[in-house]
Amino acid sequence: MSNSYLDVRVAFALAKITGITDPDNNGSGLVLADAQALGYRDGAFSSTSHLSVPTFFADEPSLADAWESGVATQEANEETSGMCSFCFKGHEIWECPHL
């Protein structure tokens, strides 16, 4: 059975090593996107409002930040997911004319 957090952590370590040997390689960007996606997933399926950073990401600030960004994005999407397209105007929430 695979552990998604471990997979991302190993990919991050490999990207750091690759960055030493090939400074033009930006493989860590993809890994950080994967960490953010895990945060998004965790935020969607969590029953609690405050999630702690996964152990595999806790000691690496960039992975922790990416994961927390995913959780925050998911929480923001949940707040506005029940609204129609008329609820937004200039990035401000307006009262929906259809209710």
Rounded to 5 degrees, what are φ and ψ at 34? -65, -40
pLDDT above 80: residue 17: yes
Q: How much is the pTM?
A: 0.73
End-to-end CA separation in angstroms for the chain: 47
From the centroid of its chain, how far is CA 51? Answer: 12
Mean pLDDT of all residues in 9-14: 94
Q: Has residue 16 got a pLDDT over 80?
A: yes
User: Which two structure tokens, joined as six digits, stand for 50?
Assistant: 């405050």
The type of residue at 56 is F
Q: What's the length of the chain?
A: 99
**Confidence band (pLDDT; 50, 70, 90) for 29?**
confident
CA 20 – CA 24 distance, rounded (Å)? 9
